[in-house]
């Protein structure tokens, strides 16, 4: 099984389409959206091809493959445009016996982990900074941001399999990687 993680779209139709093109290449079984779908928020610049309505339309075309959690820039009014649930603060997933806690990162975060067991996976977005490391026996991951990367990181997404988590840029390069076995 392969899961693709996309975070912090922030209304960029351009970068969402780039990510979904990569999903076509990667062929994930599931796409997990880690929040901040349609709006850029007051601290961020406008992303490329900012078009929240178009983002909603594109995401709805892929609704059967999407699991989503709410980000700090998401509101109940956004749910009115989306045909899949996105208002949960977290999603609990399981990948071949491994528990995965997926959230945006503004409530629970790498600095404020929920109760997890050794070898569980905690994945968040929010910071726009890719992470792939182990902290107190838990794998802590962040795919970075597809639209507004920070700290000179590239636009990126994450791929999780039973064996590893890889953060990739859109040119096919590996940004971060960690083996889970």
Task: Note whether 116 and 136 are within 8 A (CB).
Answer: no
Please, which residues bridge with residue 50 across strands? 12
- From the list 103, 118, 109, the residue with the least C-alpha distance to 68 is 103
174 contacts: CB under 8 Å, gap ≥ 6: 166, 167, 168
Handedness of CA 103, 62, 43, 75 (dihedral sign): negative
List the chain domain ranges.
3-179
Please state the CATH superfamily assignment of the domain spanning residues 3-179 in this structure. Metallo-dependent phosphatases (3.60.21.10)
Per-residue tens of pLDDT for the chain, all 181 residues = 999 999 999 999 999 999 999 999 999 999 999 999 999 888 888 998 999 999 999 999 999 999 999 999 999 999 999 999 999 999 999 998 899 999 999 999 999 999 999 999 999 999 999 999 999 999 999 999 999 999 999 999 999 999 999 999 999 999 999 999 8
Task: Note whether 60 and 33 are within 8 A (CB).
Answer: no
> What is the pTM assigned to this prediction?
0.97
């Amino acid at each position: 099984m392969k899961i693709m993680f996309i975070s912090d779209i922030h209304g960029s139709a351009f970068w969402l389409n780039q990510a979904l093109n990569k999903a076509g290449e990667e062929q994930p079984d599931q796409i997990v959206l880690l929040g901040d779908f349609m709006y850029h928020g007051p601290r961020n610049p406008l992303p490329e091809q900012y078009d929240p309505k178009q983002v909603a339309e594109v995401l709805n075309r892929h609704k059967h493959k999407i699991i989503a959690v709410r980000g700090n820039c998401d509101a109940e009014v956004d749910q009115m445009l989306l045909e899949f649930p996105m208002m949960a603060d977290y999603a609990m997933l399981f990948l071949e016996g491994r528990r995965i806690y997926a959230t945006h990162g503004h409530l629970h975060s790498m600095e404020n982990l929920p109760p997890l067991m050794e070898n569980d996976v905690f994945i968040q977005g929010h910071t726009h900074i890719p992470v792939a490391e182990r902290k107190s026996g838990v794998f802590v991951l962040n795919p970075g941001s597809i639209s507004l990367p920070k700290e000179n990181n590239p636009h990126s997404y994450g791929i999780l399999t039973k064996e590893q988590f890889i953060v990739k840029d859109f040119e096919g390069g590996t940004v971060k990687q960690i083996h889970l076995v």
